[in-house]
Chain A
Amino acid sequence: DGGITQSPKYLFRKEGQNVTLSCEQNLNHDAMYWYRQDPGQGLRLIYYSQIVNDFQKGDIAEGYSVSREKKESFPLTVTSAQKNPTAFYLCASSIVGEAYNEQFFGPGTRLTVL
């Protein structure tokens, strides 16, 4: 089955630690995205990548880093510089070249900082 997988589903970390969230897709999509979801705020874009070895900052990139070494993988690192990292993180992907941007989402990772 084609889709997007995110792991782990739940993640706990202590303050001051970096943590990496995994996102893998087998849809052969060129573009991948990371969003942060907080109650009552909808989804906010952290980073996105339209091609391997290239990525752009979204609206709330501070305290986060990404890499795109493979087409199917787009890991997100939440660094200790992120002031309020507890949130639900969603990864998405889409085709590049379509006239419109329909994004497909993974199941999410819920990060809790203790």
Chain B
Amino acid sequence: AQSVTQLDSQVPVFEEAPVELRCNYSSSVSVYLFWYVQYPNQGLQLLLKYLSGSTLVKSINGFEAEFNKSQTSFHLRKPSVHISDTAEYFCAVSDRIRNDYKLSFGAGTTVTVRA
């Protein structure tokens, strides 16, 4: 079984400042990793994913995340945030070997961008 820890529940940040959301996971097997974003009163949207290959993955709207196997982390970063990035962000993992189609989610990090 996997577990996911998002180290910050709330992250306030000023517009155009950088932001980092931390995610650590524990698993006895190899995993796939995901970041989802949820805007208020909406469902979740996939932001980016790590499946294999390059450990640095990027989204179309400027976010990036780096898989660090030795530290079992998948931190999310953006060098300059916009007001529209205000949302809740969830880190998730699934078992690469077992592949039972179950995702384990972290508790979420709420990002509030202020002007």
* Interface residues on chain B, number (Cβ under 8 Å): 25
**A-B contact count, CB below 8 Å?**
63
Indicate with 1 or 0, residue by residue over A86-114, a CB within 8 angstroms of chain B CB atoms.
Answer: 00001010101001111111111010000
| A6 vs B34: C-alpha distance when bound (angstroms) | 23
Contacts of B101 in A (CB 8 A): 31, 48, 50, 94, 96, 101
Are the C-beta atoms of B108 and A110 separated by less than 8 Å?
no
| B63 on the A face (CB < 8 A) | no
The answer to whether the Cβ of A17 comes within 8 Å of any Cβ in the partner chain is no
Interface size class of A (residues with CB under 8 A): 20 to 34
Are B43 and A108 neighbours in the complex by a CB distance under 8 Å?
yes
Q: Which residues of A contact B4 (CB under 8 A)?
A: 42
**Which of chain B's residues 75-114 have a Cβ closer than 8 Å to chain A?**
90, 94, 96, 99, 101-103, 105-108
5 A-B pairs with least C-beta separation:
A105-B43, A42-B105, A42-B107, A105-B44, A43-B105
Q: Which chain A residues have a beta carbon within 8 Å of chain B's beta carbons? A: 4, 6, 31, 40-45, 48, 50, 58, 90, 92, 94, 96, 99-108, 110
